[in-house]
Chain A
């Protein structure tokens, strides 16, 4: 298993500003993932972050809006840039643990972002 922490747990931000969310894992992991969960919705994968390479973004998400860093095997950040009220969501990081075919995903507690 993996224990994941996120900072901040919640924030209220003004339109046009940026927020960086930190994700810390208690063990070294190859792949980290960032998700967004809009109110009342399911989770949508934003990007996959591997250490030592650029993040891979899903359709509809771009690096300029959601820059990601992955400086080492236990840490990642997601920045939500030039925020608008539509960015109000819960942002979650996750990691994949296990052997091929049986990889389980563990999630951080999430960062609840409200943009005014």
Chain B
């Protein structure tokens, strides 16, 4: 399968709580990227982390990468109802991008 795995498949939290999503992949990568997709809409690029980086921050987002375990995590802090969306990791396998299975996040107001 092209796709990596993400867990959990679905996550429901209260506004203000933190949300953590995990992504595992299969092969060596150039970088890993996280995307958000609101229901029925396009993909929004959130953050890119290179293979030689271990952690990266952008606003309320924190991404970690462990290449030895072939895994990454996305942490959204102080979640808001507007964060409700599907989140996908995508690995840059040297000019090919493969997406994980996605996590559906529901943030309840």
Residues of A within 8 A of B (CB): 31, 33, 35, 41-45, 48, 58-59, 92, 94, 96, 100-110
Contacts and interface: CB of A to CB of B under 8 A. Distances in A.
Interface residues of B, number: 23
Which residue of B3, B41, B45, B95 has the most chain A CB atoms within 10 A of its CB atom? B95
Contacts, number: 59
B2 A58 contact: yes
A101 B30 contact: yes
B43 interface: yes
Interface of B: 2-3, 30-31, 33, 41-43, 45, 48, 50-51, 88, 90, 92, 95-102
A44 B50 CA distance: 22
Q: Is the interface of A mostly helix, strand, loop or mixed?
A: strand
Contacts of A105: 33, 45, 90, 92, 97
A95 to B, nearest CB: 11
Contacts of B100: 42
A106 B48 CA distance: 12
Nearest to B47: A104
Contacts of A43: 43, 88, 90, 99
